[in-house]
């Protein structure tokens, strides 16, 4: 593997894993590791989100105390590392709450006092209740990416499952959940005209124009059918309310990111969806306890939402939520 020139990209960019092989398995390979990272930035076919993964590795190489690359490489890496998407740039809410003492390494849990009892909750549920109690949002669910993949599937059902002229082999059995190219780059390129037309129509239409087509798919597809429509987690009324809160422009923005690379972007979405159907306020919240760190995927999604004026934020819960220098402590 070390000598091969072609490295395939997977969950993280393949060049990052290639670099790690040099770093961890070979002696005095810091120079080659740095060269691999810089090579990735120079490649035209490396996408922006893959470069974000490389920026993380560039920062780690430049911050080393031992086995540090030579100065010329450090200077080159530093320029790229400074462009790394950072947690601190995203709005944050801090909740000071002591977690329960546990003897295992599972998720932290918190006591929540009700008028007549005390119950135990995981961090996401506690934060969901906290936001509702603050009054800005009346509803909230811990759906992670299920809500956006459901909305995307409802809006693009006919395109996702279209029999494309000149494209063979994407449907080989009536029992498959997805077309076989959904988790490849070919999904977008095989349907580029259809996808772009749909996105343009979404931006020009009102959300009231989009909802009937979504409702039609929801009503006409059998409940037992395999797809990314998450009927067990959510009902139509909630999907409709969230779509109205987002509006046609934000729906198009979210769907565009999924359509361009569904394999990478279908995960990493914030934990909580909070909304108020009366004020049309909506926010997507990523919950972290004291020691939790967000993945690069989560930061990428939140930065994308923030750059497109869609409310998103971190919610830190614990007794030392401001200890990490990587976190935003001003909100």
- pLDDT tens profile 93-145: 999 999 888 766 778 888 888 888 888 889 999 999 999 999 999 999 999 99
Mean pLDDT of 2-23: 47
Pairing between β-strand 139-142 and β-strand 118-122 as defined by DSSP bridges: unpaired
pLDDT at 5: 37
What span, in angstroms and rounded, lies between the C-alpha atoms of 80 and 16?
A: 14
pLDDT at 254: 98
pTM listed for this prediction: 0.85
pLDDT at 1: 38
29: pLDDT confidence band, cut at 50, 70 and 90? low
**CA-CA-CA-CA torsion for 73, 74, 76, 81, nearest 10 degrees?**
140
Half-sphere exposure for 111 (CA within 13 Å, toward CB): 7
Residue 219 has pLDDT above 60, yes or no: yes
What span, in angstroms and rounded, lies between the C-alpha atoms of 204 and 3?
A: 51
Burial of 39 (0-12, 13-18, 19+ CB in 10 A): middle
Question: What b-and-e string marks burial along 234-249, b requiring 16 or more CB atoms within 10 Å of the CB?
Answer: beeebbbbbbbbbbbe
Most confidently modeled range among 6-10, 139-143, 291-295: 139-143
16: pLDDT confidence band, cut at 50, 70 and 90? low
pLDDT at 57: 77
Mean pLDDT for the chain?
85
Mean pLDDT of 268-281: 97
What span, in angstroms and rounded, lies between the C-alpha atoms of 103 and 158?
A: 50
What span, in angstroms and rounded, lies between the C-alpha atoms of 10 and 78?
A: 25
12: pLDDT confidence band, cut at 50, 70 and 90? very low
55: pLDDT confidence band, cut at 50, 70 and 90? confident
Interacting residues of 277 by C-beta distance below 8 A, sequence separation 6+: 138, 139, 241, 244, 245
pLDDT digits (tens, 9 = 90+) for 141-177: 999 999 999 999 999 999 999 989 888 899 998 888 9
Residue 68 has pLDDT above 80, yes or no: no
Most confidently modeled range among 5-14, 15-24, 113-122: 113-122
152: tokens are 């995307």
Interacting residues of 260 by C-beta distance below 8 A, sequence separation 6+: 188
């Amino acid at each position: 593997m070390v000598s091969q020139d072609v490295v395939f990209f997977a969950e993280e960019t393949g060049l990052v894993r290639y670099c790690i092989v040099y770093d961890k398995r070979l002696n005095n390979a810091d120079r080659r590791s740095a060269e691999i990272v810089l090579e990735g930035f120079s490649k035209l076919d490396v996408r922006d989100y893959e470069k974000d993964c490389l920026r993380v590795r560039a920062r780690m190489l430049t911050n080393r105390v031992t086995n540090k690359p030579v100065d010329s490489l450090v200077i080159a890496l530093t320029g790229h590392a400074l462009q790394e998407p950072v947690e601190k740039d995203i709005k944050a809410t801090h909740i000071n709450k002591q977690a329960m003492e546990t003897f295992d390494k599972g998720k932290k849990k918190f006591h929540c006092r009700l008028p007549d009892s005390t119950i135990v909750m995981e961090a996401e549920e506690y934060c969901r209740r906290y936001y509702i109690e603050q009054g800005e949002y009346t509803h909230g669910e811990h759906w992670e990416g299920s809500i956006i993949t459901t909305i995307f599937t409802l809006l693009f059902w006919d395109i996702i499952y279209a029999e494309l002229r000149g494209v063979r082999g994407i449907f080989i059995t009536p029992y498959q959940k997805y077309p076989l190219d959904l988790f490849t780059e070919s999904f977008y390129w095989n349907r580029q005209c259809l996808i772009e037309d749909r996105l343009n129509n979404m931006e020009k239409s009102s959300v009231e124009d989009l909802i009937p087509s979504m409702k039609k798919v929801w009503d006409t597809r059998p409940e037992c059918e395999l797809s990314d429509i998450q009927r067990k987690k959510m009902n139509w009324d909630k999907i409709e309310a969230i779509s109205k809160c987002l509006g046609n422009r934000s729906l198009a923005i979210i769907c565009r990111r999924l359509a361009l690379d569904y394999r990478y972007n279908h995960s990493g979405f914030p934990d909580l969806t909070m909304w108020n159907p009366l004020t049309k306020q909506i926010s997507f919240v990523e919950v972290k306890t004291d020691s939790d760190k967000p993945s690069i995927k989560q930061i990428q999604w939140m930065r994308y939402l923030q750059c497109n004026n869609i409310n998103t934020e971190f919610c830190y819960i614990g007794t030392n939520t401001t200890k990490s220098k990587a976190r935003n402590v001003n909100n």
